[in-house]
Amino acid sequence: MPAHPEAVEAVSEILDRVGYNGIAVDLPLDGGDHLVKAYLPYDRVARVKVRQVRTALGHLQAFGLGPIGAPRLRRLDEEDWLESWKASFTPIRIGRFLIRPTWADATEAGEALVVELDPGMAFGTGLHPTTQQCLEVLSEAELAGRSLLDVGTGSGILAIAAGKRGAGPIVATDVDELAVRAARENCERNDVTATIALGSAADVTGTFDVVVANIVAATLQSIAAELRARLAPGGRLIVAGIVAEKEQATLDALGLQIKRRDQRDDWVSLVLA
């Protein structure tokens, strides 16, 4: 189904509730809507699940996200869908990192830090501009020996990347049980030690030198106080998932100073202190 860039993560989370074997997000070549795809088993409860999806998508409008198109359905063999989804996720170099799916043939990494990933049904393959923006910041930041909190970790990609650069201790949270499971598996796969728990910034104690939150602007604004509370004195908050038109409102909610700003298409990422 088509979705405005700002709504992609929220739409993906809704489709995750009824589908399995992951989701796929086709990136637009012309700056238009993204296309979010999920596989839904065609069984006796399929129609009920489709109604649940339509209802949940209707509720998203209350958050003021970008336009979301109507779901489009078609029959497809599972094997064909899996191959198509895997073909869309190939090794990609981002900053110091080489993001490589578990099913891809080994490629020459050179000096790159390899992050081997199976996102399962969680958000975060490295293909989305917001994830790339965060990875580029983590490529350059001083992370060795610094504590880090990753809020909305998804597949765990950012926590793993930080761990590869020596950050620690690392704590990661997500409100989706499937994401927590995927992040734990991916951290183990990459030999990165992290505490991964169900919840958000409000469910974590203590403060951190670095806090990362790659979440849509509406959620960043709603948890702004909790994000500030988790930031240690002199620490840095890395936020992404912000469409340009929501940037000022997000800054006002967070109440911190800009140390770095990056904009890619409609997406803005910020490093704040």
First to last CA, the chain: 37
Strand partners, 240: 214
State percent of the chain over pLDDT 70.
81
Alpha carbon dihedral 263, 264, 266, 271, in 10-degree steps, equals: -40
pLDDT at position 103: 74
Domain extents for the chain? 2-85, 122-272
What does the alpha-carbon distance between residue 170 and residue 142 come to, in Å, rounded to a whole number?
Answer: 15
Tokens found for residue 64: 């003021």
What does the alpha-carbon distance between residue 257 and residue 239 come to, in Å, rounded to a whole number?
Answer: 12
In eight-state DSSP terms, residue 68 is B
pLDDT digits (tens, 9 = 90+) for 160-194: 999 999 999 999 999 888 889 889 999 999 999 99
How confident is residue 10, by pLDDT bands cut at 50, 70 and 90?
confident
What does the alpha-carbon distance between residue 244 and residue 66 come to, in Å, rounded to a whole number?
Answer: 12
pLDDT digits (tens, 9 = 90+) for 217-246: 889 999 999 999 999 999 999 999 898 989
Rounded to two decimals, the pTM is 0.72
What does the alpha-carbon distance between residue 21 and residue 257 come to, in Å, rounded to a whole number?
Answer: 41
Peptide bond connecting 169 to the previous residue in cis, omega within 30 degrees of 0: yes
How confident is residue 82, by pLDDT bands cut at 50, 70 and 90?
low
Residue 20: strand, helix, or coil: coil
* Cβ-Cβ contacts under 8 Å for 176 (sequence gap 6 or more): 13, 16, 122
Closest CA to 263 of 98, 68, 139, 132: 132
Tokens found for residue 106: 């080994």
Over residues 256-266, the mean pLDDT reads: 93
Residue type, 105: D
User: What architecture does CATH give domain 122-272?
Assistant: 3-Layer(aba) Sandwich (3.40)
Closest CA to 8 of 128, 182, 132, 156: 128
Closest CA to 123 of 10, 239, 3: 10
Using the Cα atoms of residue 122, residue 128, residue 134 and residue 137 in order, give the sign of their dihedral: positive
Give yes or no for residue 196 having a pLDDT over 60: yes
